[in-house]
């Protein structure tokens, strides 16, 4: 849909010419993953280190069928009441600093959520955060702060025309 195009962003700024590692440790520059990953980004107060407030990894689509819809119930004991109707049950996993608190509490010290940081995995030597924090690196299939498409970009669409060959030299619908 054309009205959505301004909201589209590139899922990675990693070099697409370097598929053997380099700045793309998860090899996501070339392929869009099927898993749905929702992230609430945040920045640390002391640095511009990218931090993640929470992350949801799931198979859900953004649809009423997957997330549900409030409907009036017309039959049975619930007749006349509102019910949440979900057509497709999916599985998702939610992570936040509180999720990891019990794991870190097994150490000798008491850990609160403020001392647990979730950061994107970069494949490098790890994040440079305050040593008093416990760091959890999570692999993301996209950059934490993706850049918007430029005016010269044409986002791919299943119902759009594209005359640019893909990596296999094919043009058009498959």
Other C-beta atoms closer than 10 Å to the C-beta of 168 total 6
More confident residue, 80 or 133: 80
* Cα angle: 67, vertex 77, 73; to 5 degrees: 40
Q: Report yes or no on whether pTM surpasses 0.85.
A: no
Please determine, for residue 164, whether its predicted confidence score (pLDDT) is greater than 90. no
- C-beta separation of 71 from 82 below 8 A: yes
Give 117's strand partners: 135
Q: Cα separations (Å) of 96 from 21, 41, 113?
A: 28, 11, 9
Residue found by looking up tokens 């006349």 in the block? 80
**pLDDT at position 15:** 54
Two tokens at 91?
A: 């599985």
Which of 17-31, 47-61, 147-161 has the highest average model confidence (pLDDT)?
47-61
Q: Strands 50-58 and 36-43: what pairing?
A: antiparallel
**Which residue, among 95, 81, 78, has the nearest Cα to 39 in the 3D structure?**
95
**pLDDT at position 95:** 92
More confident residue, 152 or 47: 152
Residues 77-123 pLDDT 10s: 777 788 888 888 788 899 998 888 877 766 656 566 667 888 888 77
């Amino acid at each position: 849909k054309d009205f959505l195009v301004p909201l589209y962003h590139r899922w990675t700024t990693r070099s697409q010419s370097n598929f053997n590692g380099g700045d793309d440790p998860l090899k996501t520059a070339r392929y869009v993953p099927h898993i749905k990953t929702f992230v609430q980004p945040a920045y640390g107060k002391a640095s511009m280190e990218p931090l993640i407030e929470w992350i949801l990894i799931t198979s859900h689509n953004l649809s009423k069928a997957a997330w549900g819809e409030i409907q009036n119930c017309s039959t049975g004991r619930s007749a006349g009441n509102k019910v949440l109707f979900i057509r497709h049950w999916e599985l998702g996993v939610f992570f936040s600093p509180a999720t990891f608190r019990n794991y870190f509490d097994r150490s000798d010290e008491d850990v609160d959520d403020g001392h647990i940081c979730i950061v994107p995995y970069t494949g490098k030597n790890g994040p440079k955060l305050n040593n008093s924090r416990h760091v959890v690196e999570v692999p993301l299939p996209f950059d934490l702060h993706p850049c918007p498409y430029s005016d010269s970009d044409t986002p791919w669409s299943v119902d759009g025309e594209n005359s640019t060959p893909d990596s296999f030299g094919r043009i058009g619908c498959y």
